[in-house]
Amino acid sequence: MIFHTTIETSFGFAGFVYQKNPFQVIKTILPNPDQQMLSAPIGSNHEWTDHDNNAKKIVSLIQNYFRGIPITPPWELMQMEQLTKLQQSVLHETANIPYGHQKSYKEIADMIGRPRAFRFVGTTLANNPFPLLVPCHRVIKSNGSYGEFGGGSEMKKKLIELETASLLKQK
């Protein structure tokens, strides 16, 4: 059985879909001001449930992110089997981008040892099942523009601004 939960954040309602046995996050859902809009990416065949300890950990990570606290992806709790090894390497390198910083699609391609695969990097990140946990919003175009994002370019800009402001507060 597949379950989901909704989390209220400063950007609206976020969520994630998971299975319980074994616990694995299947996908995370970017915030939307309208909680009802979360049902479209979740679908109708999922059941709401109270949080178990692993689900509470994911809730805490997402809440911390929006509080300006850097997070580390809980790889052991994320369903990665549906991704190829190359796609997984893109997500891992993307997760290595420090909080409040950005890298280009080309830089990620270089980091995975495929310097000409920047379009592959873009496609992989466009289909990132774990936005927020894997911060694909930190990947920008080589010319410094934001580029595309599943939550829209305005949300990408706001996430980058959130991280920048949080870093400035810490100094």
Domain extents in the chain: 2-76, 80-170
Tell me what the pLDDT averaged over the chain comes to.
90
Instruction: Return the structure tokens found at 122.
Output: 């873009």
Measured at the alpha carbon of residue 96, what is the angle toward residues 130 and 136, in degrees to the nearest 5? 35
Q: What is the mean pLDDT of residues 20-46?
A: 77
- Residue 16 has a pLDDT of 93
Contact 37, 15 (CB under 8 A): no
- Is 136 among the catalytic positions? yes
pTM of the model: 0.90
From the candidate CATH numbers 1.10.10.10, 3.20.20.20, 1.10.287.110, 3.30.1330.40, the one assigned to the domain spanning 80-170: 1.10.10.10
pLDDT at 151: 87
Q: Out of 42, 132, 136, 162, which one is annotated catalytic?
A: 136
**Whether residue 5 has pLDDT greater than 90:** no
pLDDT at 18: 93
pLDDT of residue 47: 54
Amino acid letter for position 147: G
Q: Which pair of tokens denotes residue 123?
A: 């496609």
| Tokens coding 149 | 């994002």
Q: Is the pLDDT of residue 35 over 80?
A: no
